[in-house]
Amino acid sequence: MKVTPDARWEEVLALISDSVTPQQYATWFKPLVFLHYKEAERTVTIQVASRYVCEYLEGNYVELFRHVLRQVFGEHTQLQYFVAKSQDNEIGEPPMMQSEMQAAPARQPQRQRMVQPQRSEAQGPQRLDPRLNPRQTFDNYIEGASNKLPRSVGQSIAEHPNNSKFNPMFIYGPPGCGKTHLINAIGVHVCNKYPEKRVLYVSARLFEVQYTSAVMRKTINDFILFYQSIDVLIVDDVQEWEGKPGTQNTFFHIFNHLFKNGRRIILASDRSPVELKDMNDRLLSRFSCGLIAELEKPNEELCVDILKSKIRRDALSIPDDVITYIAQTANGSVRDLEGVINSLLAYSVVYSCSINMRLAERVIQRAIKTNNSPITVDDILEKVCNHFGVTQSAIYSKSRKRDYVVPRQLTMFFTAKLTKMPASRIGKLIGGRDHSTVIHSCSQIEKRIKVDKAFEDEVISIENSFKLKK
């Protein structure tokens, strides 16, 4: 019994489905419509939704097509595309594209009048890879004073993406404050709750690259139509479009189409719309017509909460004083927090050692740029007095109480070490003492450090706090 061309095409799809992921198959191959096979010309013709799909297949799956077509239809089989005419396409039907696997036959004029087959797969936009990070969700996005408003609004949008309120949502804040995590969490939640929605996360830089490629290939209409088909469009780092008028103008038209049709737009930047330079005024007005939400750097308390969440996730054991130290040195950057935790985990595993203050200090010195503001005697006095719970007048006094002597000696020790001030000057500033008292105090501290591990750790902890001076 002779196998029909339709049956052969089903075999082609079956072979392809075994070679790609289910998401890739559903996005790029299932929607393809088999039109016909001309045995004399050894040509397979399929219908695609747009020229963008055609070019994507050619750019990413040409070898796969060559292999399976040769296996099912025979050697020297050519693949020819027919680009369907969309009812919503105001630009008109793009020309039929031909595979570069073989030189396909010349296109016949009557192809333009070909009736679109009535296949459900060819109707309307298809599912696509949203390019989201599934690990960045609301469940692990820790709430604090610095992100309470953006997080609450983001959750509301994720629950009700069809609501026109807060559209667009423009989130801005310094690097490392959690913008990318938040916009990913919105997208992930929408995908899970509304699987029929076409959600897409794209960086501004990738959008610009795609736009430039579309201009060079003269496929800008298909590029615009593709983005106009998105239900929830999430664009990160839009400040990358500064000084790029072509990209801005194209996105302006995409934005207008999505906005007028009730689609959701979420944007993120490292600064507010009014601070963006070399940007089209009409595009900036679109950015500002919804909700502008600022994400501030997380404070120390939120950093501690974020760290503890990550520590629980990675099943680590880190002392509380080390957690506090990391939170203080991260300069309000969630990204730095993650980097430090990952480095500590690697060190502890490779060297089979526990995570302590010394290891944390070593890692942080290599991973985080700390503040290098000069330390003053007043800074040292404040830190030492706060640590030991004594007053500055007690440090200046002549009292020989141990509760006062150790803080006084440490103040002299840290001042000598961190300010490089001569001993005579240090003595005058700390109670009017002479230089020999300062030298003796430093010597006593150094001796105790060598024999008292707990005291050494305490000294390191105090010294680390000086590096956090703002």
The CATH code of the domain that includes 250 is 3.40.50.300
Candidates 220, 169, 228, 168; CA nearest to 198 is: 228
Instruction: Tell me, yes or no, whether 156 and 265 share the same domain.
Output: yes
User: Is residue 8 exposed (0-12), middle (13-18) or buried (19+ Cβ within 10 Å)?
Assistant: middle
Residues present in the chain in total:
470
Instruction: Give the pLDDT confidence of 320-377 residue by residue, as tens digits.
Output: 888 888 887 776 678 788 888 888 888 877 878 888 888 887 787 776 655 555 678 8
- Residue 131: inside a domain, yes or no? no
CATH number of the domain at 395, please. 1.10.1750.10
Please indicate, yes or no, whether the overall pTM of this predicted structure exceeds 0.85.
no
Instruction: Tell me, yes or no, whether 336 and 408 share the same domain.
Output: no
Residues 309 and 334 sit within 8 Å (Cβ to Cβ): no
Tokens at 432, concatenated: 């009017």
Instruction: Tell me, yes or no, whether 306 and 283 share the same domain.
Output: no
Number of domains in the chain: 4
- Residue 256: inside a domain, yes or no? yes
Instruction: Tell me, yes or no, whether 200 and 246 share the same domain.
Output: yes
Instruction: Check residue 171 and give its pLDDT.
Output: 95
Kindly report the CA angle at 197 between 173 and 22, in degrees rounded to 5?
105
DSSP state of 424: H
Instruction: Tell me, yes or no, whether 240 and 361 share the same domain.
Output: no
Question: Phi then psi for 299, rounded to 5 degrees?
Answer: -75, 180
Give the three-class secondary structure for 36: strand
Q: Please report, as a single letter, which amino acid is at residue 370.
A: T
Instruction: Give the pLDDT confidence of 246-288 residue by residue, as tens digits.
Output: 999 999 999 999 999 999 999 999 999 999 999 999 999 999 9
Give the three-class secondary structure for 24: helix
- Residue 114: inside a domain, yes or no? no
Instruction: Tell me, yes or no, whether 356 and 273 share the same domain.
Output: no
Instruction: Tell me, yes or no, whether 284 and 192 share the same domain.
Output: yes
Instruction: Tell me, yes or no, whether 21 and 77 share the same domain.
Output: yes
Whether residue 22 is preceded by a cis peptide bond, meaning omega within 30 degrees of 0, is: no
List the domain range (segments joined by +) for residue 172: 147-294
- Residue 118: inside a domain, yes or no? no
**End of a domain among 294, 329, 359?**
294
Instruction: Tell me, yes or no, whether 342 and 449 share the same domain.
Output: no
Selected residue with higher pLDDT from 94 and 149: 149
Distances (CA, A) of 114 to 43, 47, 117: 17, 11, 9
Q: In what order do the strands lie in the sheet with 43-48?
A: 33-38, 43-48, 78-83
> pLDDT at residue 8 above 80?
yes
Candidates 260, 254, 266, 255; CA nearest to 221 is: 254
Instruction: Check residue 421 and give its pLDDT.
Output: 76
**End of a domain among 346, 367, 388?**
367
Q: CA-CA distance, 432 to 435, in Å (whole number)?
A: 10
Instruction: Tell me, yes or no, whether 164 and 206 share the same domain.
Output: yes
CATH number of the domain at 22, please. 3.30.300.180
Selected residue with higher pLDDT from 319 and 121: 319
Instruction: Tell me, yes or no, whether 172 and 75 share the same domain.
Output: no
Instruction: Tell me, yes or no, whether 423 and 316 share the same domain.
Output: no
Weakest mean pLDDT among 83-87, 90-94, 153-157, 172-176 = 90-94
Instruction: Check residue 117 and give its pLDDT.
Output: 35
Give the three-class secondary structure for 199: strand
The highest-confidence range among 22-26, 310-314, 426-430, by mean pLDDT, is 426-430
Residues 373 and 470 sit within 8 Å (Cβ to Cβ): yes
Mean pLDDT of 86-90: 40
- Residue 351: inside a domain, yes or no? yes
**End of a domain among 310, 342, 367?**
367
